[in-house]
Amino acid sequence: MSQPTRKIAAIHQPGYLPWPGFFHKIFLSDVFILLDHVSIARQNFTARVPVRTHSGQKYLRVPLRKHHPSTCIKDVYPADEDWVPSHLGMLRFYHKSPFFKQYFPWVEDLLLRINHSEDLASINSFLIIEICQLLKIETPILRSSLMHPQEKSAALMIELSKKAEATIYFSGTRAKNYQDSALFQEHGLDLVYQRFFEYMESQPYPQAQGEFMNGLTILDTIFNLGVEGTRELLSGYAEKYPIL
């Protein structure tokens, strides 16, 4: 008797130039869902991402128009100002990284192509998809707002995973506070937690700017490791933490 086909789903709010762990979720999944219909939270990474600077870790921040904290991510818009040049200026700090000269022109072109009239979710989705193409990650990427979900919290993750016909939900560790593996099992889903931050701590990559800092933008990884090195970093996770 043949075994049922395994299908991994991962879900995350669309971050701005997010860290390698975000792309690892996409890399390891069979389908990835951008959670763009939920409220934008304070102090999250939908409009900011940490980078290295001369004075340590700082954030690239997308200035936003005034909005209520309960506004959906897809209904939040960047402020009417030209913030891209300042982001590019901060990223030039990486000029000593081995792959900076190769990939900075690509990053510059990418950021200059941003349509400032679009909502934050669309801008982030565009950047995420372009970075996936650079890294040769072919996982289908969906947007939750087009899937018309009804549930909230852990039930929402189950609903979206089932809509995607997944058998495994690959979750971030912060969700342990509100997720019950038994509830996922009741709906035919195995719940597996990602341990990428821990993986990176045990296997830091060389950063030309100094001692290893975990959790920085994927651009830090690309500038220091290149595309092939970044792919090797993402693929090496499964050897240490195999999925079911």
Residues 153-209: tens digit of each pLDDT: 999 999 999 999 999 999 998 888 888 899 999 999 999 999 999 999 999 999 999
CA gap 168, 158 in Å, rounded: 10
Pairing of strands 48-53, 31-34: unpaired
Work out the pLDDT band at 1, boundaries 50, 70, 90.
very low
| % the chain with pLDDT above 70 | 98
Question: For 62-73, what is the mean pLDDT?
Answer: 93
CB-based burial label for 133 (10 Å; 0-12, 13-18, 19+): exposed
* CA neighbor of 10 nearest in space, from 240, 236, 234: 234
* CA neighbor of 60 nearest in space, from 33, 27, 105, 92: 92
The CA distances from residue 27 to 23, 95, 163, 233, in Å, are: 6, 27, 20, 11
pLDDT at 112: 95
Residues 4-15: tens digit of each pLDDT: 689 999 999 999
* CA neighbor of 198 nearest in space, from 210, 182, 215, 180: 215
Partner residues linked to 50 by β-bridges:
59
Question: For 136-154, what is the mean pLDDT?
Answer: 96
pLDDT at 3: 52
pLDDT at 189: 96
43 pLDDT more than 80: no
pLDDT at 138: 97
Residues 9-36: tens digit of each pLDDT: 999 999 999 999 999 999 999 999 999 9
pLDDT at 4: 63
Question: For 200-225, what is the mean pLDDT?
Answer: 96
In this prediction the pTM is 0.95
71 pLDDT more than 80: yes
pLDDT at 220: 98
* Mean pLDDT of the chain, nearest integer: 94
**Contact criterion met (CB below 8 Å) for 135 and 99:** no
pLDDT at 163: 97
pLDDT at 174: 85
Residues 93-141: tens digit of each pLDDT: 999 999 999 999 999 999 999 988 899 999 999 999 999 999 999 999 9
